[in-house]
Amino acid sequence: MKKRRLQELTSICDKIRENFDAKDAAREKGLTRSRAVIRNSANAIRSIHRGEYEDAVALMEESAGFLREVEEALKDHPDVRYAGFVHDAHKEHAEAHQTYALIRGEPLPDPDDLGVGYAAYLNALGEAVGELRRHALDRIRHNDKDWGEAILSAMSEIYSAMTSFDYPPAISGGLKRTADVTRSLIERTRGDVTNAIRQQRLETALIDLENRLKDTS
């Protein structure tokens, strides 16, 4: 029996190879820009904690541009777009904006305005609570106890909002696990703030006692 040559296979493979080349190029660009977003977001949060707000805003604006490039590069490749690294970039970008707003006392940004996914946004709120804990402890060390109490209220509101979403991890991005971590952060922060307030009251009472003893001597 004469062997048949699969002449059509060459053109099929050429077509597939062209698609793979385009997909690979899009993935590389998307991955590079996503990493830049994550790096910028981390640097922006560090700037926020240092009070360098203009630097933080500049970094977040640059990240927004990178995210637009990611979406453009991957618009024809949804299988790559939803591979995971874009979600991570969205989460970090949202966290930076949320941290900025919460620490500055400004309204929280809308996920649609940020151009990030809803699951990424909600999970980023849990990460932002961790940054609020760090900032609260810094303020406590500077004897600003009232701010610590105020931020506990914001943390609790965030936690309540997160726990109001009862959806499978495939939809929520594992929000329940993030909420569990958030709850532990709030409990630890509440303990730190309570101890700081007690210490402040004790110090005030000791100073008052010392002054009264001086007056009677």
Give start-end residues of each CATH 1.20.58.2140 domain in the chain.
Answer: 10-112, 117-217
Q: Domain 117-217 carries which CATH code?
A: 1.20.58.2140
Res. 141 pLDDT band, cuts 50 70 90: confident
CA distance linking residue 107 with residue 91, whole number of Å:
18
Mean pLDDT of the chain: 87
pLDDT digits (tens, 9 = 90+) for 172-216: 999 999 999 999 989 888 877 766 666 665 555 556 655 665 666
pLDDT at 210: 59
Domain 10-112: top CATH class: mainly alpha
Query: Which range is least confidently modeled, 5-14, 62-71, 82-91, 121-130?
Result: 5-14
pLDDT at 67: 96
Percent of the chain with pLDDT over 70: 83
pLDDT at 202: 55
* Sign of the dihedral defined by the CA atoms of residues 31, 32, 35, 36, in that order: negative
Q: Does residue 8 carry a pLDDT above 80?
A: yes
Q: Does residue 142 carry a pLDDT above 80?
A: no
Res. 19 pLDDT band, cuts 50 70 90: very high
Tokens encoding 192:
């730190």
CA distance linking residue 191 with residue 137, whole number of Å:
11
CA distance linking residue 78 with residue 193, whole number of Å:
46
pLDDT digits (tens, 9 = 90+) for 39-52: 999 999 999 999 99
> Which has more confidence, 203 or 82?
82
